[in-house]
Every structure is written in structure tokens, then in C-alpha cells.
Amino acid sequence: MKKIAVFTSGGDSPGMNACVRAVVRTCMAQNVDVVGIMQGYKGMIEGGDNFMPLSSRSVGNIIQRGGTILKSSRSKAFMTPEGRKIAYDNLSAEGIEGIICIGGNGTFTGAEKFYNEFGIPSIGAPGTIDNDLYGTDLTIGFDTAINTAVEAIDKIRDTADSHGRVFFVEVMGRDTGFIALAATIAGGAESVLLPEVKGDHTKLIEFFRGRQQSKKSFSLVVVAEGNFEGGAIAISSMLNTEIPGFESRVVILGHIQRGGSPSAFDRVLASKLGYGAVNALLAGEKNKMVGLINNKIELTPYIDAITIKKELNPDLLALVDILNN
């Protein structure tokens, strides 16, 4: 391959820039031209200025920056055959022979479809704060996101302590609880409500009914946004109804978790995976996601990365109950 493209797509995550940098510099080291596509699949369809030749210098001074210099989008047009045909025509006109896509589920679903229709091979790097992709122990951005959540929880803890209050803190993660579970343990929260564990709200009602005996003066409960019984607002109002006189506050951390300078861990992970993705593509691999499993770079077919459910670590789940006493 003489020319490839790189883009970021879906929800941005801290470390995407470090990954773009690694992709570009690995290409430079192998004498391969690289084009950055702005705005993900949207830019691939719109063409024009969205196609930007990149050099080592274009990716200088970005390793520490959150967000993505290539911008991102969730493209509806790319979900249509007509949209993908236009994208293909634009890539062909530029002489692009392969793609590195940095994103999550939706990104890889699109890339697989694109290969099946037009034969453009791609390798994906897992860029999402959710850590919900099978085939990698950790995704780029997850570490930074949980550190952001824990920093916020530490602050909420101060005011919860001062006023002896109960706080429900809602974290992101879409329909998975990886962020919530890690933030609970690192933030020292007493309880967590997760999409993967049904019925935990009943345990919570019992816990707060008996709270007087526990001699705890304040409480922090982490709620995953995709929690089965609802987010933090729903849980807090359910407890208000169930327990007369119950009072609580709700904090929704939201998109704060997506921003900020990537942690050192995410920068290293992103660099390894960007390098690994280019090498895999140049070696003739396609339709696979590069990931880190037990500290080794491994490839997993897109279809597995997208469809196999990554499980929460049961040891961590058990630990929450031991540590909250």
C-alpha cells in the first residue's frame, strides 16, 4: 500500500489524537502516504477539504490534547448504500487503498459493510470511553474518563460529608457498566447500579431503610446511565417514594467524562494501538480491530469485537460489596 486514510468517528475519547499521531508517524516510517479524513464518515462522503494530507509535523503537539483534531460525527448518510458509494468514489479519486478507523461499535460496523461492498480494507483502533469492545482489555479514553469521574466523585464526597447527604452520581457507558464499576471502586462509593446486574435497586432500598444502624453519615451511589431501572434521577425519585422522608441529591457527570487531556496510560495505549493498526493493515490484515490483551497487541475480527459481549470483571463486582461495609 502506498496511500492510506485515517479518521476518528463516533463519540470522541481522550487519546484519539495520540492514536492519530502514532498512525501518521508509523506510516511516515514506512514511506506510506496518509490522508486524514475530517469528521469521520460524514467527511468521507462530503469530500473536498475534508481530505487532508498529513505529515509528521501535522500531528506535532497533539499528544496531550483531548478531543480529536480530525473531528468526529455520527453519520446517518453512511448507513445508506448511496452514501457509502459516494464515500468510495471520493476515496478512489484520492488513490486511498486502505483505512485506519478510530472509534467504537458503529465505526467498525460501517467499516465492515464498506469492505464487503467496495473491497477497501480497514483496521480499527478502539477509541471510546465506554470500554465496551470485546478484543481489548481497555479502550482508548477509558482510563482518562474514569479518572475524570473519580476526581468529580472526590469533590462530591466533600460536600456529601459536610451535609451528611446521599448523592447519586450518574456516569456514562451507554448500555455497559465499565465506567461505573471502576469509578465506584476508585471513588470509594458505597453502591453501584449497573445495566449488567438486574434488581440491585431493591438491595439499595433495604440498605437505605437500614441506614441509621450503619452509622454512616453520608453516602455516594454510582449509577450507570444505562442502568436497567433508570438513571440517577429515576433511582433517586424511586427511593423518595419508597422511603418516607428520604432526601438525596443527583449529579449527572455527562460529557465532562469525554473531554480533557488524556492520561499517560491512554497516551501509551493509543500509541501502541495506532502503531499496531498500521502494521496490521500493511501486512494485509483487514476487517479487524487491534487491541491490547494481557499487554500484547492482538487482532480481533470486527464482527467479534462488535457482537461478543464483554463481561464485567466478577472479582470487581464482588469487591464492591466487600469494600462498602
Q: CB 68 → ligand F6P: shortest distance, Å?
A: 13
Residue number with CB closer to ligand F6P (38 or 120): 38
Residue number with CB closer to ligand F6P (123 or 133): 133
Residue number with CB closer to ligand F6P (163 or 255): 255
Q: CB 45 → ligand F6P: shortest distance, Å?
A: 19
C-beta atoms surrounding 296 within 10 Å: 10
Q: CB 156 → ligand F6P: shortest distance, Å?
A: 19
Residues of this chain that bind ligand F6P (CB under 6 A):
11, 104, 128-130, 172-174, 225, 258
Residue number with CB closer to ligand F6P (10 or 36): 10
Q: CB 11 → ligand F6P: shortest distance, Å?
A: 3
β-strand pairing of 191-193 with 219-224: parallel
Residue number with CB closer to ligand F6P (160 or 223): 223
Q: Which residues are catalytic?
A: 130
Q: CB 222 → ligand F6P: shortest distance, Å?
A: 14
